[in-house]
Amino acid sequence: MLLSLFTAPEGGVMKKKYLFLTVLFVLLFVIGCSTLSGISISPPSWTLGNWTAYEGSVVFKFFSDNIIYTNKSGITISFEKQYAGMQVNDESSDISYTVTIISPDTTTVYSFTLVGDQINYFVKENDATVEGGLLTKDTT
């Protein structure tokens, strides 16, 4: 059937050919856009809210579908926007949550472990720890 769309141009076949190609291009466009539109993460409920380290020098804001990180230099990263189009995996349990971002050059891992009423966190790039500390939940 598919091959018949590209045979001799007789009544209606050219219209079917163009219709098929149009649908194919639209489908490819939609698939392409959906892979770049964002990421899919689901932080566990125990992380939700604002968590601060080092007297406000590092802040993680956990939402049901995103994480926003701000460091002492004022650099803010929205995971949903910053890592769109990359391979992003997350895993969670009752006391740990890990987000792994795989880009062509770097694998970045954010690890969060619940310790009492605080979170111990580490950020690693290609297995080297680049940041870590203890987060306390903001109560305001």
Pairwise CA distance, residues 39 & 36, whole Å:
8
Across the chain, what does the average pLDDT equal? Answer: 82
pLDDT at res. 92:
97
DSSP 59-107: EEEE-SS-EEEE-TT--EEEHHHHTTTSEEEEEE-SSEEEEEEE-SS-E
**pTM strictly above 0.75:** no
Q: Per-domain residue ranges for the chain?
A: 3-36, 45-137
Q: Give residue-wise pLDDT tens across range 33-42.
A: 334 457 899 9
Assign a CATH topology to domain 45-137: Lipocalin (2.40.128)
Q: Give the residue among 115, 113, 110, 62 at the shortest CA–CA distance from 90.
A: 110
Q: Give residue-wise pLDDT tens across range 62-84.
A: 999 999 999 989 999 999 999 99
Pairwise CA distance, residues 98 & 32, whole Å:
27
